[in-house]
Amino acid sequence: MAKDKTTLAGNVQKFLRDSFRPKFGKLRDTFSSDPLWQKLRQLGSELWLDTGSMEEARKLWTRQFSALTTNNTLLNKEVQTGRYDSLMADIARLLRPYELGDKEKMLEIAFILNAWHGLRLVEKFDAFVSVEEHTDLAQDVHLAIEYAKRYHAVCPERFIVKIPFTPAGLLATRKVADEEIPVNHTLGFSARQNYIIARIAKPVYVNVFLGRLNSFVKDNGLGDGAYIGEKATLASQNAVLRLRQEGKTMSKQIGASFREGAQVRDLAGIDVMTIPPKVAAQFRELGLSPDDVTDKTGADYAVGVTNEADIDRIRVDTLWNIPDELVACLDALEQENLDNFTADDLVAFFADHRCGDVIVPWTDQQIQTSTQEGKIPKLANWKELLASKSRS
């Protein structure tokens, strides 16, 4: 006889916690200290390692680091090593008594693997761990809320839940953040996106995936892409800081998708850096002294776009500018009862307030195109859409 599904979450949580042996607050002094990382901490930057690999993290971890961030791709690399083969068998036995559809089973397995691996990282490093919801939840407010609550229940002491920037993700983040569940609202790329996220959803963290922005410009033949992502990150940092000072959010800015060690130096002072191990090693190899690392939050970098006309044509400046109409849109939105909004309501509200190019309704064809492109969009696929977004 199949088990009642209402018992599933509780049994999964027990399965995960039964083998969890943390040492909260007792491991920090067992790790070495590094003066260069310490200087970044003194400038106000939290330091995270962008990896779920125990081996990679162990080589670089010092007491200045506070968190690790993993995702489904990084976790899959760990699974491919074979170290979780016996766990997969245990998961199969755990889920067998429940009559789960294919999607339900897939979501449950992904959740258990992410939570299990996150707990192992907590055990090893006493780190906060940013754990990722499955991408299939990105358009589902209710399931995104449910799984965020379940992640938090598994490890309220150390888990931070990643929820992506979508209309549904905004509403889900707003709900769980209001319940004091720490959220890393991910897949942000611009100051104006993070201005929206910080005011509507109020997560603990917002992001700029800066390396992808630089790669977009370079890969599409628009220039070398230098400092595109850095300029967007600093603009977002300053926008979020102003909102904190005004008491409108508590969100902190993460610089994500670092691609080279020099970017760590060039963004010193931002709230959080989540740094891949390769980039962390490159930063150490620059030969800098602590005195060489200074606050860069006031820097105004010249961007690597070859043709000035391209800045206007592809609207690069929307990565760092926050227009007055967007501020007015958010002012109006704060007067609404967002608890009654659906994702479609949110999209319509932005369109009605002249900001329909920020919160965009994606067609199935556009989603398919983006999926096929991978992490870096091909400009040719979006040329007509960009041209249709006039500045008027």
Q: What is the pLDDT of residue 321?
A: 96
For residues 110-121, give the mean pLDDT.
96
Q: What is the pLDDT of residue 392?
A: 32
* Buried/exposed code over 102-132 (b: 16+ C-beta within 10 A; e: otherwise): eeeeebbbbbbbbbbbbbbbbbbbbbbbbbb
Q: What is the pLDDT of residue 315?
A: 84
Q: How far is CA 229 from the centre of its chain?
A: 15
Q: Is it the case that residue 276 has pLDDT exceeding 90?
A: yes
Q: Is it the case that residue 75 has pLDDT exceeding 90?
A: no
Q: Is it the case that residue 78 has pLDDT exceeding 90?
A: no
Q: How buried is 147 (Cβ within 10 angstroms: 0-12 exposed, 13-18 middle, 19+ buried)?
A: buried
Q: Which residue has the tokens 């859409």?
A: 385
For residues 187-208, give the mean pLDDT.
98
Q: How far are the Cα atoms of 211, 377, 386 from residue 382, in angstroms, in the given order?
A: 20, 8, 6
HSE of 108, CA atoms in CB hemisphere, 13 A: 23
Helix axes 167-178, 343-352, angle to 10 degrees: 110
The tokens for 28 are 């920090």
* Buried/exposed code over 293-320 (b: 16+ C-beta within 10 A; e: otherwise): beebbeeeeebebeeeebeeebebebbb
For residues 90 and 2, the model is more confident at: 90
For residues 13-17, give the mean pLDDT.
97
Q: Is it the case that residue 52 has pLDDT exceeding 50?
A: yes
- DSSP states of 13-46: HHHHHHT----TTSSGGGS---HHHHHHHHTT-E
Question: CA torsion sign, 366 to 368 to 369 to 375?
Answer: positive
Instruction: Please tell me which of 15-24, 217-226, 314-323 the model is most confident about, judged by mean pLDDT.
Output: 15-24
Q: Is 204 in a helix, a strand, or coil?
A: coil
* Buried/exposed code over 45-80 (b: 16+ C-beta within 10 A; e: otherwise): bbbbbbbbbbebbeebbbbbbbbbbbbbebbeebee
Which residue, among 4, 28, 227, 15, has the nearest Cα to 98 in the 3D structure? 4
Q: Is 254 in a helix, a strand, or coil?
A: strand
DSSP code at position 47: E
Backbone angles phi, psi at 186, to 5 degrees: -100, 175
Q: Determine the residue type at 69.
A: T
Give residue-wise pLDDT tens across range 141-179: 999 999 999 999 999 999 999 999 999 999 999 999 999
Q: Is it the case that residue 310 has pLDDT exceeding 70?
A: no
Q: Is it the case that residue 387 has pLDDT exceeding 80?
A: no
Q: Which residue has the tokens 């920090």?
A: 28
Quote the percentage of the chain above a pLDDT of 90. 84
What torsion, rounded to 10 degrees, do the Cα atoms 263, 264, 265, 270 define?
Answer: 110
For residues 107-131, give the mean pLDDT.
97
Lowest average pLDDT, out of 143-157, 222-236, 300-314, 356-370, goes to 300-314
- Write the CB contacts of 178 (distance below 8 Å, at least 6 apart in sequence): 202
Q: How far is CA 207 from the centre of its chain?
A: 5
Q: What is the pLDDT of residue 307?
A: 78
The tokens for 89 are 């068998």
**pTM confidence score:** 0.95
HSE of 93, CA atoms in CB hemisphere, 13 A: 7
Q: How far is CA 157 from the centre of its chain?
A: 19
Q: Is it the case that residue 386 has pLDDT exceeding 80?
A: no
Residue 336, Ramachandran bin (φ over 0: left; ψ between -120 and 50: alpha; else beta): beta
Q: How buried is 254 (Cβ within 10 angstroms: 0-12 exposed, 13-18 middle, 19+ buried)?
A: buried
For residues 41-60, give the mean pLDDT.
95
Q: Is it the case that residue 140 has pLDDT exceeding 90?
A: yes
163/304 Cα distance (integer angstroms): 31
For residues 321-326, give the mean pLDDT.
97
Mean pLDDT of the chain: 94
Question: CA torsion sign, 296 to 375 to 111 to 120?
Answer: negative
For residues 159 and 367, the model is more confident at: 159
DSSP code at position 68: E
Q: What is the pLDDT of residue 284?
A: 96
Bridge partners (DSSP) of residue 162 are 132, 184
